[in-house]
Amino acid sequence: MKQLFLIIILFFLQLSFSLNAQITLNNPSFEDEPSDATVPMGWFPCAPETTPDILPGFWGVYTEPSEGETYVGLITRFDGSYESIGQRFSEVLDKENCYSFNIDLAQSKSYAGYNEPLKIRIWISNKKCKKEQMIFESKFITSAEWETFKIDFTPKISAKYILIEAYYTDGIINRMGNILLDNITALIPCSKV
């Protein structure tokens, strides 16, 4: 009987530890009222004088969400401007610990003329909208079907913020393109497998 009681206590302690080990984002699935030039609740714009769109339903974009009711669209323009968003993590990331999370990405074939494929880059930092450590750069997203990307990274800093930006390539960001984002999972410790 004592062994069973001990096993139950250890199980709940492990479960509690696992739940507490997650670092979350506010509104990781970009849920909000569909709107153009608007940042979803919980997020803030990081590029000057430009904001993303909450989709579907604007600019000819009708892709179904990968999760929930809405997602966000980021674009780059011919003048070299681009859109990015960010927010503060629920907890500060521990330096030198490995974290893992997923994000769903797609591309719209019709986005009011912003139809070229793009990449995203994801950064972490200690200051709002700053780029201190790049933790991910996607391939060019060319599919209208959602694709899930697993991201494993180890912070070199005790980061507080995440920034996600639409991106083309170094020195050539003057492309009229789009990328769709949805369903960011909680950050968990990397698997030791």
Q: What confidence score (pLDDT) does residue 96 get?
A: 82
CA–CA separation, 46 and 108 (whole Å) = 22
For residue 101, give the H/E element and its range. Answer: strand 99-106
CA–CA separation, 153 and 98 (whole Å) = 6
Q: How many other CB atoms are there within 10 angstroms of residue 35's CB atom?
A: 16
In which residue are the tokens 């990015």 written? Answer: 84
Q: What confidence score (pLDDT) does residue 64 get?
A: 95
Sign of CA pseudo-dihedral 20, 25, 31, 32: positive
pLDDT digits (tens, 9 = 90+) for 137-180: 999 999 999 999 999 999 999 999 999 999 987 665 578 999 99
**Token code pair at residue 150:** 């697993």
Q: What confidence score (pLDDT) does residue 50 get?
A: 87
Please compute, for residue 80, the number of CA atoms within 13 A of its CA located in the half-sphere on the CB side.
3
Strands 177-182 and 71-76: antiparallel
Which of 3.40.640.10, 2.120.10.30, 2.40.30.10, 2.60.120.260 is the CATH number of 25-189? Answer: 2.60.120.260
Q: What confidence score (pLDDT) does residue 171 get?
A: 62
**Token code pair at residue 157:** 């800093």
The residue ranges of the chain whose pLDDT is under 70 are 1-20, 170-173, 192-193
- Contacts of 167-170 with C-beta under 8 Å, sequence gap 24+, read 167/76, 167/82, 167/118, 167/119, 167/120, 167/121, 167/137, 168/76, 168/82, 168/116, 168/118, 168/119, 169/119
Q: What confidence score (pLDDT) does residue 11 get?
A: 47
Please compute, for residue 104, the number of CA atoms within 13 A of its CA located in the half-sphere on the CB side.
18
